[in-house]
Amino acid sequence: MKNLGFLVIGCMIIFSCVGQRPENLGLHNDRLTNCPSKPNCVSSQAVDEDHTLTPFRYQGTKKAAFERLKKIILSLEKITIVAETDNYFHIECKSKIMGFVDDLEFFFPKEKIIHVRSASRIGYSDLGVNRKRVEHIREQFNLK
């Protein structure tokens, strides 16, 4: 019975390790926060090959692209919109099994592009989850 108690407490600790919301997220001089050196972050504004990916491109108005992206985001499971302005989204994405939280951000500058950043809050590697999520969203965005 004592071992069961330790197991329950251990599971509670593991499943509650979602990490604190980073205070440095958001826009800083029209840029998203830089990725840390860990391989659990991708950004269209990164300059190094390990973290970079291509920004989204769109035709039409920024408002229409924003609404299209928001509809796709809302169709995802286990997400919470944390912040939304006319040119920025911050979404928390929770993993299905362990409940880990990743921060996903989108920035709409004046050009017809959408910058994106997706990063794990804790851990070293994300096994490519953030990159896969962004590319899945891009695929859906380009279909519409």
Burial of 130 per CB tally in 10 Å (0-12, 13-18, 19+): buried
Sketch out the chain's domains with CATH numbers. Answer: 2-143 (3.30.310.80)
Chain centre distance of CA 53? 13
pTM: predicted TM-score of the whole model, two decimal places: 0.84
Residue 18 reports pLDDT greater than 80: no
19: left (phi over 0), alpha (psi -120 to 50) or beta: left
Mean per-residue pLDDT over the chain, rounded: 88
Per-residue pLDDT of 98-122, as tens digits, reads 889 999 999 999 999 999 999 999 9
CA dihedral in degrees (124, 125, 130, 131; nearest 10)?
130
pLDDT band at 1 (very low <50, low <70, confident <90, very high): low
- Report the C-alpha gap between 61 and 59 in whole angstroms: 7
pLDDT band at 144 (very low <50, low <70, confident <90, very high): low
